[in-house]
Amino acid sequence: MAVRRSLRRVAPDVFVSVESEIWPNFLAAAKSMGVQTLIVSGIVSDKTVSRSRWLRFLYRWALSNVDRCLMQTEGDAERIVGLGADAGRVEVVGNCKFDQEKEGLTDEETAALRHEYGSKRSPGVRSGEH
């Protein structure tokens, strides 16, 4: 009841769970209220799979309420399907924290951001350097 009340108050369009957070009651309530549900940068350890033997029905139910499982590795994808996720909703996309290329900011962009946020340090000077 508290989950539904919270969801009604927040009224999200999408719920995104990162890495390994699987909350069965929350996912079921969100899905029943039309909220799209995603797992991103998903991981499932061998330890979780071995401990899930007695809770497989719970994982299957929880994962039936997830629209997409975007997993870090093929192994993670196989393990989440083994827990009960629909293979058609599982995709390997890598780790969203580390698998992205970043271009550095120019000195001008850095200076503009520092000015905007009130930082007095000059470009190229890291915290602790003077």
Full set of structural domains in the chain with CATH: 2-92 (3.40.50.11720)
pLDDT for position 51:
81
pLDDT for position 99:
58
User: Residues in the chain with pLDDT < 50?
Assistant: 125, 127-130
Q: At 50, list the tokens.
A: 């071995």
Distance (Å, whole) CA 20 – CA 76:
10
pLDDT for position 11:
87
CB 39 within 8 A of CB 22: yes
pLDDT for position 101:
61
What strands lie across the sheet with 90-92, from one edge to the other? 14-18, 36-42, 68-71, 90-92
| Longest Cα–Cα distance in the chain | 59
